[in-house]
Structure 1
Amino acid sequence: MEFAHLTVLSLFCLAFVGITATSSGEDYWQSIWPNTPLPKTFSDLLIPSGKTNSLPIKSEELKQYSTLFFEHDLHPGKNFILGNTNSVGSIIRPFTKSRQGVTDSIWLANKEKQSLEDFCYSPTAIAEHKHCVSSLKSMIDQVISHFGSTKIKAISSNFAPYQDQYVVEDVKKVGDNAVMCHRLNFEKVVFNCHQVRDTTAYVVSLVASDGTKTKALTVCHHDTRGMNPELLYEALEVTPGTVPVCHFIGNKAAAWVPNHTADNLCVM
């Protein structure tokens, strides 16, 4: 009986610890931004074990991260087909010569060939600052420290599932030099938060081929010297350092930018 009592008590304590771990991140969020919902993109950071049972980014979602285009393509009426870089699955990100921008999609496609430690401790790209975080509190502290203010907002995409063809309905600029936080494609919940200078973030309103309306977080790089030359030439027939290059950001990532208006903190 005593053993059974201890077992039940232990299970109760484990459950309580799990609930506390989950709520503490949300409580910290609410203490800084009261009455502001947590973006769905960051919900994995509330998992008590810090580990999921499957990879967060499915193979069909990789196209969200591997669509490259020019900044002048961002206008109403423009048609996009996701995934114009077929070699994403075959190019491995070299750690001795780090590359920026689309390297996250390259790395995600080659997750089995690189360890989490290799990625987080690899050299940074040109003009890049990065930090791997495994808790919501760490992410919040990191972005507040970076901007020196709590007047910031998080923006994320909500691509429609199983839809690859879209037409642009509207384009809105949301800020320059955003801090991007990407969920890395491992079972362990870790986000790579990084900033690359000379970038502009947009929210692009899209309409899928089936009529579904969605929004896509988009980043344009004005300094492309550190980008992957094979990938740029395959997609756009340009070389690094010549013209600005843009790409969509998938559903498992968000951009932090200054909030200069009375808008809600989170745009999803």
Structure 2
Amino acid sequence: MGLRFALKNFLLHLLLLLCAHGSYGEAREMMSTVLRLPSDDNGVPDKKMHSDHHVHTNNPNPSSHMDHMDPSLKVFFTINDLKIGKKLPIYFPMKDSSSNPPLLSRDEAIPSQSPQAKSMEHTLRECEIKPIKGETKICATSLESVLDFVRETFGLETQFKVLSTTHLSKSRTLLDNYTILEKPKEIPVPKMVACHTMPYPYKVFYCHSQVTENKAYVVSLGGDHGGRVEGVAVCHMDTSQWSPNHASFRVLGIEPGTSPVCHFFRGDNLVYVPIMPIHG
């Protein structure tokens, strides 16, 4: 029993070391051993498709929980909704480190069905999914890696800034009806890099960029339950390469390529955009 426990812990710490050096393929294979995750016929852990709306996965299996309209999916809207006075139901979690999986001590094992184990396996899987056409992506475990990816995307000499959603006052509920208070401010984005936090024992950012047209906005919002938010939103003008099972199509009742899809970013996500020169 003691030897088995020690071996499991050794493999787990080796897994984390591989992840830190970017060896996600080896790490996921080891994850199946350490956590004894169930596998399908192709040897891939049998887990429902990731519900995070930011990851444009090509996974053909829709998530069943979307049929029940997970409140966290209430972030999508259409570009025609961007007008003063429009009321939208939006799920806006505050920045809260306590909602992330806790850091693990050297003496802890991870039960295979625990939220921590499922979150780790899910993140490793998402980091391995091939990018869609016209997309580049990286799973970064350090700020340096994020900034390197941004520079590679924009060009080494390009200056850039970062945008994030700001909560000016807290709503009494995560899902609230928000009214657009002012004309949305469009931010010119010839290119952009979106970085989303992923569940893991330490910080992992899923960063990606697409060559297709995108529009970025800062939107002033007031909630029915006291929330006041300066929300960062992006509208993807071409969704023809997205999976038909992408959560946004279910929420909005549209099909790939038929209409731009817009969504708000959570406060712990980052959007990098080039600083455009001012011509005068």
Q: Give the TM-score category using the shorter length.
A: 0.5 to 0.7
Q: Which residue number corresponds to residue 200 of structure 1? A: 215
C-alpha offsets along residues 29-72 of structure 1, whole Å, 9 cap, x if unaligned?
xxxxxxxxxxxxxxxxxxxxxxxxxxxx9xxxx85664211101
The code of the aligned residue for 2:216 comes to A
User: Contact 2:188/2:276 (CA < 8 Å) preserved in 1?
Assistant: no
How far did residue 244 of structure 1 move?
0.8
Alignment match of 2:200 (pick from 165, 186, 190): 186
SS of 1:72 mapped into structure 2: helix
Question: Hey, what's the Cα distance between the residues in 1 that align with 2:126 and 2:249?
Answer: 25
**What does 1:150-161 align with in structure 2 at a 5 Å threshold?**
150-159=158-167, 160-161=170-171
User: What RMSD in Å do the two structures reach over aligned CA positions?
Assistant: 2.6
The code of the aligned residue for 1:174 comes to I
**What does 1:121-140 align with in structure 2 at a 5 Å threshold?**
121-140=128-147
Question: Hey, what's the Cα distance between the residues in 1 that align with 2:150 and 2:241?
Answer: 23
Question: Hey, what's the Cα distance between the residues in 1 that align with 2:239 and 2:164?
Answer: 23
Q: Which residue number corresponds to residue 99 of structure 1? A: none
Q: Which residue number corresponds to residue 81 of structure 1? A: 89
Question: Hey, what's the Cα distance between the residues in 2 that align with 1:70 and 1:80?
Answer: 11
Q: Quickly say closer, same or farther: Cα 1:111–1:228, change in 2 above 3 A.
A: farther
User: Contact 1:64/1:249 (CA < 8 Å) preserved in 2?
Assistant: no
Question: Hey, what's the Cα distance between the residues in 2 that align with 1:235 and 1:75?
Answer: 20
Residue ranges of structure 2 left out of the alignment (5+ in a row): 1-51, 53-69, 92-116
C-alpha offsets along residues 191-226 of structure 1, whole Å, 9 cap, x if unaligned?
011112221111111111134421111111111123
The code of the aligned residue for 1:208 comes to G
Question: Hey, what's the Cα distance between the residues in 1 that align with 2:231 and 2:119?
Answer: 27
Q: Quickly say closer, same or farther: Cα 1:115–1:173, change in 2 above 3 A.
A: same
How far did residue 229 of structure 1 move?
2.7
Question: Hey, what's the Cα distance between the residues in 1 that align with 2:271 and 2:118?
Answer: 22
SS of 2:222 mapped into structure 1: strand
Q: Quickly say closer, same or farther: Cα 1:205–1:122, change in 2 above 3 A.
A: same
Identity, in percent, stands at: 31
Normalised TM-score (structure 2): 0.56
Question: Hey, what's the Cα distance between the residues in 1 that align with 2:208 and 2:128?
Answer: 13
Alignment match of 1:71 (pick from 65, 79, 82): 79
Residue ranges of structure 1 left out of the alignment (5+ in a row): 1-56, 84-109, 263-268
Question: Hey, what's the Cα distance between the residues in 2 that align with 1:229 and 1:114?
Answer: 24
Q: Does 1:226 align with 2:250?
A: no
SS of 2:272 mapped into structure 1: strand
How far did residue 168 of structure 1 move?
0.5
Q: Which residue number corresponds to residue 19 of structure 1? A: none
Q: Which residue number corresponds to residue 26 of structure 1? A: none
User: Contact 1:203/1:215 (CA < 8 Å) preserved in 2?
Assistant: yes
Q: Which has the higher helix share?
A: 1
SS of 1:257 mapped into structure 2: strand
Q: Provide the aligned length of Structure 1 versus Structure 2.
A: 176
User: Contact 1:131/1:193 (CA < 8 Å) preserved in 2?
Assistant: yes
How far did residue 123 of structure 1 move?
0.6
Alignment match of 2:187 (pick from 174, 187, 192): 174
Q: Quickly say closer, same or farther: Cα 1:72–1:124, change in 2 above 3 A.
A: same
SS of 1:115 mapped into structure 2: helix
**What does 1:1-268 align with in structure 2 at a 5 Å threshold?**
63=71, 66-82=74-90, 112=119, 114-148=121-155, 149-159=157-167, 160-161=170-171, 162-163=173-174, 164-170=176-182, 171-176=184-189, 177-196=191-210, 197-230=212-245, 231-260=247-276
The code of the aligned residue for 1:180 comes to A
